[in-house]
Amino acid sequence: MANRNPVCDKIFTSEGLLCSTEEETLAAGRALAEIVGPGVSLALDGPLGAGKTCFVKGLAEAMGENPAAVSSPTFPIVHEYLEGALVHLDFYRVESEAELDELGIDDSLSSPGVRVIEWAAKFPHALPATAWHLVFTIEGDARRIRGGRP
């Protein structure tokens, strides 16, 4: 099939995609940008340093954002890029679902743009039911990305 994306095909297998360099992680994000569209939620999980934000930089770059402008929203919790076409959230510092409500996260999670949520497993009930789940693991100096569509 002409519209197949080999990088994404690899991510969505049980083996996943092994990224040996930061550039390969960025490229994986760029590749996924080719198949996601408005209203898609990406739920990212994995330990600190596993490449989640690097992946988002690649995604943002492919959507037209300067990747240098993309940073982890750990402290502000939400960053919007490209006039809301990309919404980047981070649940790392959020302590409870009640805090999500207080912060108005529902608005961000229902944005018409592409929504990316780091540390998504902390509050699985808050995620859109159709979220695509990506799990990042550290394997030596490399990072592995595995995913699944709803």
| CATH code, domain carrying 13 | 3.40.50.300
CA distance linking residue 67 with residue 57, whole number of Å: 5
Q: Is residue 78 part of a domain?
A: yes
Range of the domain at 46: 6-148
The total number of structural domains in the chain stands at: 1
pLDDT in tens, 33-47: 999 999 999 999 999
Q: Is residue 146 scored above 50 in pLDDT?
A: yes
The predicted structure's pLDDT at residue 73:
83
Residue 6 banded pLDDT, cuts 50, 70, 90: confident
In order of 32, 94, 95, the CA distances from 17 in angstroms are 12, 29, 31
The predicted structure's pLDDT at residue 1:
41
pLDDT in tens, 68-85: 999 988 888 999 999 999
Q: Is residue 50 part of a domain?
A: yes
Q: Is residue 70 part of a domain?
A: yes
Q: Is residue 119 scored above 50 in pLDDT?
A: yes
Q: Is residue 49 part of a domain?
A: yes
Q: Which residues pair with 145 in a beta bridge?
A: 17, 136
Collapsing DSSP states into helix, strand and coil, what is residue 149? coil
pLDDT in tens, 100-116: 988 888 889 989 999 99
**Taking the CA atoms of the chain, what radius of gyration do you get in angstroms?**
14
Q: Is residue 1 part of a domain?
A: no
